[in-house]
Amino acid sequence: MVKHLRVAQREQCIGCYSCMYSCSRTWSNVMSPEKAALRVRNYSGAEGAFSIRACFGCTDPDCVKPCPTQAVTVKSGGGIEFHADKCIHCGKCVTACIPKAHQWDAEKRVPIPCRHCGICVSFCPNCVLEMQPREELKGAGA
């Protein structure tokens, strides 16, 4: 059964970025949170106000349509696939994602697709993130 990443308990986030580090470590082989396919955003003054932007695994994603070269395509079951050889680095896919869940690699100037692999879930200390079966997806996340 296809599972997708979901922000299940946003309010339980402590802002440690362990999820971001795990994603960067696993898929980009770097020690940094900045290559992650999801982002924990925090806001000034109100400690604890974290918003987690993770790919929704849309079946009809906003980020696919504006891509002029089909470098970003819909994945069977939801989410996207990224074809690096076709990318012209325009960033339109990332801009089109309304909740800013689709992240951008500023160094390589390419989008960072979420594989919905669940590594971030296994490194979340407070059960903020979950892998949920497609048909049971609940909550808008963020």
4, 35, 53, 115: residue in contact with another protein (rule CB under 8 A): 35
3, 4, 21, 67: residue in contact with another protein (rule CB under 8 A): 21
Which helix H or strand E contains 121, and what residues bound it? helix 119-122
Q: Is 15 in the site for another protein (CB under 8 A)?
A: yes
Contacts (CB under 8 A) with another protein, residues 73-112: 104, 106-107
What's the 3-state SS for 41-58? EECCCCCCCEEEECCCCC
Interacting residues with another protein (CB under 8 A): 11, 14-18, 21, 24-25, 29-35, 42-48, 104, 106-107, 123, 125-126
